[in-house]
Amino acid sequence: MQLPRRFGAALVVAAAATLAGCAGAEEPAVERVATAFEDPTGDPEARCDLLAPAVRAAFESEESARCSEAIQDLATEVGRVESVAIWGGEAQVRLDGDTVFLTRTGDGWRITAALCTPRHEAPYDCEVEGP
């Protein structure tokens, strides 16, 4: 059985609206994780817990120190959130001095890259990122 064309189009529009609504509902959580990680006055271990496991391991390896010690040396600051973009299980938060990338895990949203600056056509250059 073939559905009428306008019914099929209505289903596509409804699905897109539902997905957009889901992404909008996730924005506060994504924003909260990004700004908590960026806050240099926050508990260092709590900030480290916001990193995706592979990113945390890479960060500790690169810094040759425990995450909670190394994270205190990062030049982060809580900036004003300029935009939040969510697509599927990935997200990007643009702050007025940084860009943070996140992924949705079983434990909630986690940082996959931070202290990122754009490089025109090339990928972002990030101080904190995974393998």
pTM equals 0.79
Q: Answer for the pair 110, 122: CB distance below 8 angstroms, yes or no.
A: no
Distance between CA atoms of 131 and 124, rounded to whole angstroms?
14
Q: What is the pLDDT of residue 63?
A: 82
The predicted model gives 99-123 an average pLDDT of 93
Half-sphere exposure of 12 (CA within 13 A, CB side): 7
Q: Sketch out the chain's domains with CATH numbers.
A: 27-129 (3.10.450)
Contact residues for 85 (Cβ-Cβ < 8 A; gap 6+): 91, 92
Structure tokens at 89: 């299980």
The mean pLDDT of the chain is 83
14-23, 61-70, 85-94: range with lowest mean pLDDT: 14-23
pLDDT digits (tens, 9 = 90+) for 35-74: 999 999 999 999 999 999 999 999 988 888 889 999 988 8
Going across the sheet that includes 98-105, the strands are: 81-87, 90-95, 98-105, 108-119, 122-129
Gap between the Cα atoms of 66 and 70, Å rounded = 6
